[in-house]
Amino acid sequence: MKNSSLELKVQALNELQKRVEKLQIKSKSKKVDIGDDFISIEVEKSQATFKRIKVPGERDIGHGEFFLLLNITALKEDVYIPLSIASGKKTTGFMYHIEGTAEGDIYTTTLTGRGKGITKITLGTLLYAKIPAGKTAEFRMLIEVRGSTSKEFKVVINRVNYKLDPTDARYKRLDVEIDSKLLKFL
């Protein structure tokens, strides 16, 4: 009797473990929403890939590509987001930093924006994506990082600057923490 009772308990625990794992997978695949009174940001996709670059006579170089796909919706009124991305303190649309177990260098960064009803506005030397109220723009970010092998890296978007009028002197800012996938440079 004791063995069959124990077997039933083990079987029940195994079933519960499978259910928990399925729920964890579902929760990881759900999109993340962030926002304020004027914009809503949905993280649609985050992926990272690694490539080892062999250099004869030297240490191998780790090359990681971090891709983020963000959908930004203008909630109440038109929103203007600068079409720029930077890792410093200068005023840009998207600001990010690299976190890792070793120092990593930014190799290249690209940002594109598109969407139905979205227009590009040029004001002086600055480019903006104009998102009309109620519309959504898709922003694709590709950040390439070079770093040591056997280390881990990720990219974190920590701020989105935007304006409600492109002639405003100051930006509104949405402080966020949007993490890319953690990438192991093997």
| Residue 16: per-residue pLDDT | 75
Three-state DSSP class for residue 8:
helix
Q: What CA–CA distance (Å, rounded) separates 86 from 75? A: 25
Q: Average pLDDT, whole number, for the chain? A: 88
Q: Which tokens sit at 90?
A: 């200068």
Query: Going by C-beta distance under 8 Å and a sequence separation of 6 or more, which residues neighbour residue 98?
Result: 87, 104, 106, 143, 145, 153, 154, 155, 156
Kindly tell me if the per-residue pLDDT of 84 is higher than 70.
yes
Kindly tell me if the per-residue pLDDT of 30 is higher than 60.
no
- Residue 130's identity, in one-letter code, is K
| Residue 28: per-residue pLDDT | 46
Of 23-27, 86-90, 145-149, give the lowest mean pLDDT range: 23-27
* Residue range 147-162: mean pLDDT, rounded: 91
Closest residue by Cα to residue 72 from 112, 108, 99, 109? 112
Model confidence over 110-144: pLDDT tens digits? 999 999 999 999 998 999 999 999 999 999 999 99
Question: Taking a C-beta distance cutoff of 8 angstroms, is the pair 130, 78 a contact?
Answer: yes
Q: Which tokens sit at 41?
A: 């940001």
**pTM of the predicted model as reported, rounded to 2 decimal places:** 0.78
